[in-house]
Amino acid sequence: MFVDAGIPRDGATRLDLMKSEDPEWAAQFQQELERGERFPNWSFDDLQEVIPDKSLRQQMVTEIRPRGLSFFTEPIPVFDGWPDAPCMYIQFSAPYQAPAAQAKQAGWRTHELEAGHFHMLVDAQAVTDLIVRSVNEIPFRTE
């Protein structure tokens, strides 16, 4: 189950995936990382619109672990035959249109819920219900 996320490609880095989805933004992002900046670096105020609940927002900000360039340039290994199980994709936000399209093209069941990237925090029940319904749609094989 991929929820508003990139889809790994063998040997590609997170930055490679970003470049394939939005080359202009990724080039700017890479320059920031090369200058020593870290990501994510959101503040409590930065997330006010996307996470209105102050308690949840504070918890999110407290748990953020900004990463440097090495994290984003580390190759992500994918084993031969991946995926070896049914996959699904749920898209919340526009920046994830490319991975959602990739999932559709691969024949995965996909769902779109127009919301913000942090919708799991904003409406956990609706997201949980969608995930449960989605998992229940998976045609499992028994051998």
| 27-80 pLDDT per residue, tens | 999 999 999 999 999 999 999 999 999 999 999 999 999 999 999 999 999 998
- Tell me whether residue 15 is in a domain: yes
100 C-beta neighbours (distance < 10 Å), count: 23
**Per-residue pLDDT tens over the stretch 77-121:** 999 889 988 899 999 999 899 999 999 999 999 999 889 899 999
**Assigned domain for 143 exists:** no
Q: Which residue has the higher pLDDT, 27 or 138?
A: 27
CA 103 to chain centre: 13
Bridge partners of residue 60, in order along the sequence: none
Q: Can you give the residue range of the structural domain that contains 88? A: 2-136
pTM score above 0.75: yes
Burial degree of 108 (CB within 10 A; 0-12, 13-18, 19+): middle
Residue 141 within any structural domain of the chain: no
Q: Is residue 142 part of a domain?
A: no
Contacts of 57 (CB under 8 A, 6+ apart): 44, 47, 48, 51
Torsion angles phi and psi, residue 4, rounded to 5: 45, 55
Task: Establish if 48 belongs to a structural domain.
Answer: yes
Strands 88-91 and 2-3, by their bridges, are parallel
Q: What value does the CA radius of gyration of the chain take, rounded to a whole number of Å?
A: 17
User: pLDDT band for position 143 (50/70/90)?
Assistant: low
- Residue 78 inside a domain? The answer is yes
Strand partners for 112: 91
Q: How many domains does the chain have?
A: 1
